[in-house]
Amino acid sequence: MRSGRFDKIFFVDLPTAIERASVLSAALRSHARGNIKVNLPKVASVCDGFTGAEIAAIVPDALFAAFADGAREITTDDLLEAAKTVVPLSKTAAEKITRLREWAKGRATPATSVVLDSVERDSRDRSRVLDI
């Protein structure tokens, strides 16, 4: 690594509430469900600690459940039920994630910067937005 090149190491943490809602929205669009009405902030809140892949995976699970229940459209409740079945990596590898976060301090540039977002403002949790 030398100056003038892409010489930074970026640390990408677990997604914030805004990022979780964005991942969910993208997953719904990729399954041709971009126009359905679901409560993205509510599902994003329940998915706290999920990776992007774990969030995206609840969409097909919800689709299968809705199809099995009379081939109806998925709902917020279907997504919430699908999320309940996930044991996120943040739990199964909590120690590893903690070590990685510690390693990244001072060594890597955060991929997002800290701000309060509208979903987490009420609970006063900290969140990040893309810093591009």
What is the Cα–Cα distance from 43 to 20, expressed in whole angstroms? 9
What letters, b where the CB count within 10 A reaches 16 and e where it falls short, cover 4-25? Answer: eeeeeeeeeebbbbbbbbbbbb
What pLDDT, on a 0 to 100 scale, did the predictor assign at position 116?
44
Single pTM value for the model: 0.78
What is the Cα–Cα distance from 48 to 7, expressed in whole angstroms? 31
Look up tokens 């229940």; give the residue: 69
28-81 confidence digits (pLDDT tens):
999 999 899 999 999 999 999 999 999 999 999 999 999 999 999 999 999 999
Residue 130, pLDDT > 90, answer no
Q: Going from the N-terminus, what domains does the chain have, and what CATH number goes with each?
A: 10-130 (1.10.8.60)
74-116 confidence digits (pLDDT tens):
999 999 999 999 999 999 999 999 999 999 998 888 888 765 4
Angle between helices 17-30 and 52-68 (to 10 degrees): 50
